[in-house]
Amino acid sequence: MQFQKREIIIIVDFGSQVTKLIARRVRDLGVYSEIITPGEIRKIKNFDMIKGIILSGGPSTVTKQKFQTIPKKILLMKIPILGICYGLQLIAKLFGGKIRSSKKRREFGRSFLYKKRNSTLIKNFLKNKKTVWMSHEDAVIKLPKNFKNIAFTKNSNLTIIENIKRKIYGVQFHPEVTHTENGIQIFKNFLFSICKVRKTWNIKSQKKILIRNIKKIVKKDKVICALSGGVDSSVVALLISKAIKKNLICIMVDTGLMRKNEFQYTYKIFKNKLKLNVKLVNSKNLFIKKLKGISDPEKKRKIIGKLFIKIFEKESQKYKNAKFLAQGTLYPDIIESRSISGSKTAKIKSHHNVGGLPKKMKFKLLEPLKEFFKDEVRVLGSSIGLPKEICFKHPFPGPGLGIRILGNITKDKIKILQEADFIYINELIKNNLYNKIWQAYAALLPIKTVGVMGDSRTYEYTCLLRAVTSEDGMTADYYNFPKDFMDKISNKIINKVKGINRVVYDISSKPPSTIELE
Ligand code: XMP
């Protein structure tokens, strides 16, 4: 395993749900970070540019005979180490401390943290008492030799530990989650006071490097890009066009399952404003035909995904001299497709997006965004001239409205939903709410209810509105709208959209629900 010549913080992922947030926090502070598996750290040949190592949380337990670990010699290399949750327990175990699993010691959710002694790690973070986020059953009950106890909670005595000489630190709580008050300060202290790493990571400065690399890889060949109009594929297309100009062919497949006007809007921007070589494929009728009578969510997803790929394959074959296929793969896609322990996490929904194109296509892959998080991609997009409306657009699923019309899909239902969704999203923009929300959409429920309009009885569909706040789509909370906005939006949709006589708001969080309904 080899890294580029730049200062880096390595995060060893032991399988925590929130490891990605650690990498995000480090990068947000201007330091490049990468997540690797415990197996990968064993393969690193050259540690020169590694300025610090963070050990994540995870489901393993050091109280069992077999547990996830890394070679102790890595902890003795004088590279600063920060263990978080399981990471702390692993450090304690490797240095001879004692860890016990007990119901009495477990802590889930908020806990109060109290200071025992000063430490560089808690500078400007912990004066006397602080709220931190916990999620553990095991706890360190005996300090390893040469470690000191810095802080404690009611249930865990050794909540922060350190070995100053070796620059090894451990925290039982999760500073990476927003529920830990000012948790970012722990990272600031670790990075800048302990690792002494420099702030060299700046997404805008990557622009030139990315363009140069694309030129170097593609040379005089042609590249095909599936352009959906979402942020990722749009940034990929624009970035590649900056590198190789006319040798890029963008293919837009119109499934008829996009938001109102969205397809035309994106097409015009890319074709007329950004002057890219865009080929439009109208497949609306084909999609509606194949989806006829299908109401099972997984079947719908599979049909849409397969059809998209078939059409795309057929279109791309027209460009015999194209050697590369560009995809909007992001860093989280890469992390998620790696397995920490060989076990696969349960599949909740079969995701489809234009990035998931088949391997059997005879193209070489070009994935210029595979080192970046979505927020970073948005910044990059802005810096290369992608319009704000595309850069800061809410995420939109590959199967589009196909999974937002519950039950069977018809042309009429698509039209009804497009109208309702259009009103909703425009009201969010007008009321300055759009940018406060991570993702919002309208869905059409497969139930009709009775209403009264004027003097007549109606029997029409129910529209569900969803708006969530989230950091990465892995977890989400519903957005708390002011009542007057709710009144306004329900009124407007019912009055303006023929076919809807009831509006409901989804107040479930993820987990246990998901963001989409199907
Ligand atoms: P869920 O519903 O799983 O959604 O909580 C999490 C995020 O993923 C998006 N999503 C998809 N994106 N293809 C995509 O490109 C898909 O098939 C797909 N399904 C869900 C969803 O909109 C949310 O942002």
pLDDT in tens, 287-327: 999 999 999 999 999 999 999 989 998 998 899 889 999 98
Supply φ then ψ for residue 33, to 5 degrees: -135, 150
Contact between 190 and 179 under an 8 Å Cβ cutoff? The reply is no
Average predicted confidence (pLDDT) for the chain: 93
pLDDT of residue 405 exceeding 60, the answer is: yes
The label of the residue with tokens 């074709």 reads 271
Q: For residue 270, report the distance from its CA to the centre of ligand 1, in Å.
A: 24
Please write the tens of the pLDDT for every residue from 157-185.
999 999 999 999 999 999 999 889 999 99
Domain containing residue 384: 203-391
Q: Assign 2 to helix, strand or coil.
A: coil
* Closest Cα to atom 6 of ligand 1: 473
Kindly state whether residue 369 falls inside one of the protein's structural domains. Answer: yes
Give the pair of three-digit tokens for residue 21. 């947030």
In this structure, are 366 and 427 located in the same domain?
Answer: no
Question: What mean pLDDT is predicted for residues 358-367?
Answer: 80
Q: Is the CB of 518 under 6 A from ligand 1?
A: no
Q: Assign 325 to helix, strand or coil.
A: strand
Q: What pTM, to 2 d.p., does this model score?
A: 0.84
For the chain, what is the domain count?
3
Q: For residue 439, report the distance from its CA to the centre of ligand 1, in Å.
A: 10
Q: Which atom of ligand 1 is nearest to the CA of 350?
A: 17
Kindly state whether residue 1 falls inside one of the protein's structural domains. Answer: no
In this structure, are 330 and 238 located in the same domain?
Answer: yes
pLDDT for res 302: 93
Q: For residue 67, report the distance from its CA to the centre of ligand 1, in Å.
A: 33
Question: Domain boundary at 370, 391, 412, which?
Answer: 391
In this structure, are 149 and 13 located in the same domain?
Answer: yes
Q: Could you tell me the CATH number of the domain that includes residue 63? A: 3.40.50.880
In this structure, are 413 and 375 located in the same domain?
Answer: no
Question: Domain boundary at 134, 169, 194, which?
Answer: 194
174 is catalytic: yes
Q: Is the CB of 356 under 6 A from ligand 1?
A: no
Question: What mean pLDDT is predicted for residues 65-93?
Answer: 97
Q: What is the DSSP letter of 289?
A: H
181 is catalytic: no
Of residues 80 and 362, more confidence is placed in 80
Kindly state whether residue 148 falls inside one of the protein's structural domains. Answer: yes
In this structure, are 188 and 216 located in the same domain?
Answer: no
pLDDT for res 343: 42
Provide the residue type at 33 as one letter. Answer: S
Range ranked top by mean pLDDT from 81-85, 338-342, 370-374, 509-513: 81-85
What would you measure as the largest C-alpha separation in the chain, in angstroms? 82
* Closest Cα to atom 22 of ligand 1: 397
pLDDT of residue 439 exceeding 50, the answer is: yes
Question: What mean pLDDT is predicted for residues 345-360?
Answer: 57
Question: Domain boundary at 141, 160, 194, which?
Answer: 194
Of residues 422 and 455, more confidence is placed in 422
Supply φ then ψ for residue 305, to 5 degrees: -60, -50
